[in-house]
Structure 1
């Protein structure tokens, strides 16, 4: 079961209370809340499952009991029931839309992640598909689990875990010479970390190598141009690691997979089209 991303109880309850902070007014007016009911979440197309475990927890927190569940990371076909639960109707109805919204986002991200990985594998199965921290605030855990469920990996989960030097940092330091001086001084203290430096040209890549980079991340470089640069750079720097970032999506990932880089960094997965999830609720 793919359930490695941690969501605390407060997060689950916050999702629920965002949609129904006090009561479900419609169910209260219709007086249907106390009868027993079942709910099924059905996917209407082929795809990859993500975040069914969190939907199970939503249902549990609302007072329902899950009867069956397809684990995150599983491949499914149109018509499959991702999760089935039963309980008092007030619990089912309160969890309904929160669970559906979560599945539509997460399964949509997982489905697109799977498509991108498949396209990469056609050219080089050893290239990593890496996701960024560029998404709407509050989505990190969900986006991470969705991409992990389809085999993508995080490039960077936050500022605290990696060293990634952008042109903005170099400008604040005063230039490449100052960067080299700083890395010469400070790099031994971060021996367990890789120094990643962003470059927008082959000239900047050589400056980054001279400054002490372990990894060069190219930003928004045309794939044909990038392929030429990586070929030249690898001849001069055989131990180097190269990443491509900026504008990589499901439509052009195959082109970037042929450039010779070691990993493809993308934010596009976080904005994938949602999955089509239907919901069936019936009296029990």
Structure 2
């Protein structure tokens, strides 16, 4: 469920960027207070995402708006279908039009690509994770789109999980130092915060297994081949959650799922997704 406060902040900032000192196209051509109706038309097949976001945009700007959904987030969509209809002040419809389309087109592209990955993993234990490779100030909706597409959200930001990656480890002087310092930090400053650690070799995996069982909850296997991931999963033996990461794509994900790894993280769910074609059209009686 989207955080309304965060979503409203996103809407405010996006409209501030777009509208500036006024939507002069609308102000100059449409009488104030005039009501109208518009329909969201689907022009490309895929997985629909952003319907609830669109509803929130319209009703946040115009509380009297009437929003009628014909399809829901996560539904398969096909060219020629209608997603929703909105009745509101015409100024609201026209001023919000591009924001609604930008959000829904981007979200639907991400949800569609995520769904393709999820379909590949059917029958396997492995789940697909997103990453922090997101568009600044749009992460809220990009990660929501991954969830709508059937993927699993990784940490939202730097604040909700400790993730010790290669640079943290190298700057700390090694795995043990990094993990021990993180654990001390958690126990004294942020009780309950989970620690994930990146490993770059099977030796790293064995080291973590030998001394960090009560400190780390997940081991990332970075840039491991499927064969190396299988060996690492066998070494770990269920003592930690496991995540494979690094260059994994739609063509290789099954070979990683076959190893029994718990998660595969794919930055491309977001940064390689292509927006889908949608349009908002006036209904003229």
Is the counterpart of residue 198 in structure 1 residue 198 in structure 2?
yes
Structure 1 172/211 Cα, relative in aligned 2: closer, same or farther at 3 Å? farther
Q: Hey, what does 2:153 align to over in structure 1?
A: 154
Q: Hey, what does 2:122 align to over in structure 1?
A: 121
Q: Hey, what does 1:40 align to over in structure 2?
A: 39
Q: Deviations for 1:95-122, whole angstroms, at most 9, x for unmatched residues?
A: 1111111100111111111111110115
Displacement of 1:208 in angstroms is: 2.1
Structure 1 33/275 Cα, relative in aligned 2: closer, same or farther at 3 Å? farther
Q: Hey, what does 2:275 align to over in structure 1?
A: 274
Displacement of 1:71 in angstroms is: 2.7
CA distance in 1, matches of 2:56, 2:208: 47
Structure 1 39/161 Cα, relative in aligned 2: closer, same or farther at 3 Å? same
Aligned positions, number: 276
CA contact (8 A) 1:249 1:266 kept: yes
Displacement of 1:179 in angstroms is: 4.2
CA distance in 2, matches of 1:68, 1:25: 28
CA distance in 2, matches of 1:275, 1:222: 33
Displacement of 1:226 in angstroms is: 2.5
Query: Which has the higher mean CA deviation after the structures are superposed, 213-222 or 196-205?
Result: 213-222
Q: Deviations for 1:231-278, whole angstroms, at most 9, x for unmatched residues?
A: 4x14xx442321101222333222222222111112111121111112
SS at match of 1:73: coil
Structure 1 185/84 Cα, relative in aligned 2: closer, same or farther at 3 Å? closer
Structure 1 12/178 Cα, relative in aligned 2: closer, same or farther at 3 Å? closer
Q: Hey, what does 1:27 align to over in structure 2?
A: 26
2:223 to 215, 220, 223: 220
CA distance in 2, matches of 1:281, 1:268: 35
CA contact (8 A) 2:30 2:90 kept: no
Q: Hey, what does 2:105 align to over in structure 1?
A: 104
Structure 2: segments with no counterpart, 5+ residues: none
Displacement of 1:33 in angstroms is: 6.1
SS at match of 2:37: strand
Query: Which has the higher mean CA deviation after the structures are superposed, 239-248 or 33-42?
Result: 33-42
The root-mean-square deviation of aligned C-alpha atoms, in Å, is 2.6
Structure 1 25/205 Cα, relative in aligned 2: closer, same or farther at 3 Å? same
Q: Hey, what does 2:138 align to over in structure 1?
A: 139
CA contact (8 A) 2:10 2:137 kept: no
Matches within 5 A, 1:41-56: 41-56=40-55
CA contact (8 A) 2:164 2:178 kept: no
CA distance in 2, matches of 1:183, 1:17: 40
CA distance in 1, matches of 2:109, 2:3: 20
SS at match of 2:160: coil
Displacement of 1:81 in angstroms is: 1.3
Displacement of 1:206 in angstroms is: 1.2
